[in-house]
Amino acid sequence: MNEWVAEIGTFIVQTTVVMALIGIGLLLIARTKQDKESDLKLNIEPLNDQRRRRVRRLRLAATLPGARKKLLKLFRSEDKKRQKANKTEQDAAPGPRVWVLDFHGDLKASQTEHFAQEVSAIIGVAAKEDEVVVRLESAGGLVHAYGLAAAQLDRLRTAGLTTTVCIDKVAASGGYLMACTAQHIKAAPFAVIGSIGVVAQVPNIHRLLKRHDIDVELLTAGKYKRTLTVLGENTEEGKAKFLEDLENTHRLFKSYVAERRPAMDIDTLATGEIWYGSEALPQQLVDSVGTSEAYLVKRMTEAQVFTVKLEAPKTFSRKLGLAVSEGVEKAALKALGVIDAAGWQRR
């Protein structure tokens, strides 16, 4: 009996501790989302220097111990020459620069606000000979959200800056709406491209409610204030109007893409289908095939390349909150992976 009581007590204590940790984690995650815009900092990283350091480390690792001293001496000599060249060119006009932005889109294109500020910062300093590279990854989402995101990216074209969008994984639907604002689109061979279409899905439980004698009164002012509803009975007229609105949104989508990529056969390609990068090239959906990493490495031989990112300061609470958030996300992804693997095994 005593052992049973002890086990129950231990279980209660462990459960309490776990719940407390979860509560603290959720609180920290919430605090990380409450960062004020005034606390955000623009982080700029020169990729040329980063790549040089990595190449040197690899060269040292691959060199015999007896020859490393000589190689380090060579590195110091190269650094002195570079510093001397920089001093000589201080009064000269800066050479071409490449500014790199990242956009990872969710359903609501939540990154748009920060992305807009990053675009504004670059427009304020970039010269006409500079290039802006946007590493874009998005499967699309809400029409108005991605319309705004595309408009922010379009500001670079309006400012007269050469813009290249690199797609390594996916730029579909709203993601492709953003991509088509660039003068050049580069996609990895198996990146998912296209999906120029509009979709809407509205569940309706009216018959279930009716079966249980539950009435729903939907009162509106304006004939088409609510065309489809979840609870009430949907009419054929309402469905027709809803479909008309979808077609109108699709027409605007097609017009936006066709204006920026006139070489495309928009009526043939705007069917909601997707293509992989290598297939999208002959369809004029993209301009070249390749990865963002390969493209930036090539540009580093020709220009100074900088990543630009607006971030909140990494305070302790933020770091801890992000760590907890990342842990929860990894656990969820692992669970989904196990479920998916089990599904494949059944087949």
173 given a catalytic annotation: yes
Helices within 89-128 (DSSP H only) = 112-125
Four-residue CA torsion sign, 184, 189, 191, 197: positive
- ∠ CA(178), CA(179), CA(184), 5° rounding? 145
Q: Which one-letter DSSP state was computed for residue 138?
A: B
Place of tokens 């760590």: 323
Give the number of C-alpha atoms closer than 13 A to the C-alpha of residue 115, restricted to the C-beta side.
Answer: 26
Exposure string for 305-341, b = 16+ CB within 10 A, e = fewer: bbbbbbebeeeeebebbeebbeeeeeeeeeeeeeeee
Catalytic residue among 36, 87, 128, 225: 225
Q: Which two tokens stand for residue 182?
A: 């660039």
Catalytic residue among 138, 173, 195, 292: 173
3-state secondary structure of 305: strand
CA–CA distances in Å: residue 244 to residues 224, 226, 227: 12, 14, 11
Q: Which of 23, 14, 75, 22 is nearest to 49 (CA)?
A: 75
Give me the phi and psi of 183, to 5 degrees please.
-70, -25
Euclidean distance between CA atoms 67 and 53, whole angstroms: 18
Helices within 216-315 (DSSP H only) = 236-260, 266-269, 277-280, 292-300
Exposure string for 178-199, b = 16+ CB within 10 A, e = fewer: bbbbbeebbbbeebbbbbbbbe
Q: Which one-letter DSSP state was computed for residue 39?
A: G
Polymer length of the chain: 347
List, by residue number, the catalytic residues: 173, 225
